[in-house]
Amino acid sequence: MIISETKIRVYYQDTDKMGVVYYGNYARYYEIGRTEMIRELGFTYKQMEELNILLPARSLKINYLKSAYYDDLLTIRTIIDSIPKVKFPIKTEIYNEVGELINSGEVVLAFFSALTNKPTAAPKFFTDELIRLFNN
């Protein structure tokens, strides 16, 4: 299992009139977490795209457990618990400042070839790095 943590501050623009994080922003928080996790693995989305590998979202599940509020410092925990093949499931947990789990979910990405415009296997350099990390 690979776990990455990213901290973000809830900005005023993220909230509704009551100061509560608007529900649609959680998908963006998930993306921030997985982008930083991929960077920690030694890759970037930009590098993948330069290699004609795209990672479109295939599905998104979100569980809203508690509210987050303006100016909260949130911890986004991004989790990979299996080596991807074509589908790339990524779990996400979001915690508030006192460590309470306030949101959880999963995004399933798909490795997609920009050359063939079809799903493709995860690149070997990517899965090799994940296997190395899983074995440590």
Catalytic site positions: 16
Distance of CA 37 to the CA centre of its chain: 7
Q: What are 32's two structure tokens?
A: 């921030």
| Residue 69: exposure state from Cβ atoms within 10 A (0-12, 13-18, ≥19) | middle
Determine how many CB atoms are found less than 10 A away from the CB of residue 24.
Answer: 9
Q: What are 127's two structure tokens?
A: 């899965």
Torsion of CA 28, 78, 39, 67, to 10 degrees: 30
